[in-house]
Chain A
Amino acid sequence: MLAGMSPPSGERWFHTLVVVGASLGGCGGKTVADQPRPESTATAGGTGSSGSAGSGGGGISSPDMCAFVGQFMCDDYPTKKNCRCDPEAPADAGACQNPFQYSCVSVPCQATATQLCLGETYVGCHCEPTALTPADCPTPEQFFCDKVSPFFANCACQSPAVDLTSCHSYCCQSNNPRFGCACCPTMIR
């Protein structure tokens, strides 16, 4: 419909509005990955945009069956209801407009007898267009996140700004880009 124009990106809202919204209604929708695609078998460790994996219409049970673990999507993660691989989901933070948009769902590791569990697994990853960035705060030093790895979570601007010149020393959650700065706690030695 908009050939020849340079429209603002409506596509970037599709997942966060339609897919997330539909999952609230109890239906995962008719996603691309739901279509039987003979060439699209469940694989692990694929690369970039070629990383497609399909359910063959029958649903899948493990994130390992997707090209990237973060592309594993379910309507309900604890019960693994209507799970599928979404090859359009970002494989990592680099696929989003900025790394602060990258967001995933944390699920406890579930290992079989022959596997070793190493903490949580991050699935259902998507780019969250409304995510705050340090530039949204009056100063980037006021931008703090509860979690910075493997993705940023619960980021917010803290007010009032800390006068860093009053600190004996200060530390930042990140120095490049610089954000989340506060006076270092006094160490009792």
Chain B
Amino acid sequence: MLPNDDQMNEDARLARLVGSLDFAEDARTCPPQVQALLGALWRRRAENELRTSEVFLQLHAELSRFPTPPRVLQLCADAISDEVFHAKICARMAEHYGCQPAPLAAPLPPRSPSFPVCSPRVHRALFAVLHCSVSETLAVTYLSACLAEASSSLLRAVLKQILQDEVRHSRIGWAVLAAPELSQADRSSIARFMPALLDACVAVWLADDAEYPAEPPPGHGFLDQRGIATTVAAAIDGVILPGLEHLGLDAEPARAWADAWSRRALPE
């Protein structure tokens, strides 16, 4: 993990990180099939990170029309290149596990989320809450669990680097929710949307995926489905619900959704 230098572009950050890592360790000790699987999983991570960069590009455009403090807007601008940087790290990890170097295809710009609200201010806040307060917070607890699972210092260094950036990205959403320009009516409206936002994000995180292994190789920083669901629950229970309450939003609609989801996804 290295300091995030705002003056440094993602290639320079990548070169600096890669220079500090020991790529000689661990990959060659895996059987070839496991290496191929891990390479494919890191490649997927790279593609997802690149898509996320596109979302931050859209979010930055929206937040520039929201009463966003300059330092929060700067965080959002940094996130665009952070995610490209992550994509390159992940692609490098895929090569480490034997994947042939290949350029990452530029993703199709994802469609901006659309919420049936009249107020542009609330619409922009909901976009930030969806992508940062919810999705990036889920990413934080997920990567934290991956980090705890990873056994090599190479993996731990890479995951920590990504995790450190995702922490800043999550804060963007909480900063937006704390904006004094949001009225009580705005906050009530956002609170009512929380179940839908949680539903959309959690569905993506826990989507059935035939290409994802039921039991990822242990020690390589990937979680099985139950492990992912557990990190989702930890994010909701430990951060999102208390975060809403902390900022004076009614957390009950989100809590009711979370209780029902938890009973389905994590039966005792």
Contact = CB atoms under 8 A, between A and B. Distances in A.
B259 interface: yes
B137 A8 contact: no
A18 B239 contact: yes
Nearest to B152: A138
Nearest to A130: B164
A170 B23 CA distance: 27
A11 B3 CA distance: 25
A9 B234 contact: yes
A37 interface: no
A135 B20 CA distance: 14
Interface string B117-143: 000000000000000000001001100
B173 A21 contact: yes
B242 interface: yes
Interface in B203-239: 230-231, 233-239
25 contacts: A1-B233, A2-B233, A5-B268, A7-B237, A10-B233, A13-B137, A13-B238, A16-B167, A17-B170, A18-B174, A18-B247, A22-B177, A22-B178, A24-B69, A25-B69, A25-B72, A26-B175, A27-B247, A29-B178, A29-B248, A132-B160, A137-B153, A156-B1, A156-B2, A158-B20
A31 B20 CA distance: 40
B130 to A, nearest CB: 15
B258 A21 contact: no
Interface residues of B, number: 55
B15 interface: no
Interface string A127-147: 001101001111000000000
Contacts of A78: none
Contact of B247 (A24, A29, A129, A130): A29
Given A5-B230, A7-B238, A29-B246, 16 more contacts: A1-B236, A2-B262, A7-B230, A10-B237, A10-B239, A11-B239, A13-B140, A14-B239, A17-B243, A21-B173, A25-B177, A29-B178, A130-B1, A130-B164, A136-B160, A138-B153
Contacts of B202: none
Contacts of B233: 1-2, 5, 7, 10
A1 B237 contact: yes
Interface in A105-154: 129-130, 132, 135-138, 154
A65 interface: no
Contacts of A29: 178, 246-248
B180 A136 contact: no
A79 to B, nearest CB: 15
A80 interface: no
Chain A's interface size range is 35 or more
Given A1-B262, A4-B268, A14-B242, A24 B237 contact: no
Given A13-B137, A13-B239, A157-B20, A22 B231 contact: no
A17 B171 contact: yes
A29 B137 CA distance: 18
A156 B145 contact: no
Interface string A16-56: 11111111111101110000000000000000000000000
Contacts of A11: 238-239, 242
A30 B248 contact: yes
B36 interface: no
Contacts of B177: 22, 25
A23 B144 CA distance: 23
Contacts of B262: 1-2
A24 B71 contact: yes
A141 B112 CA distance: 47
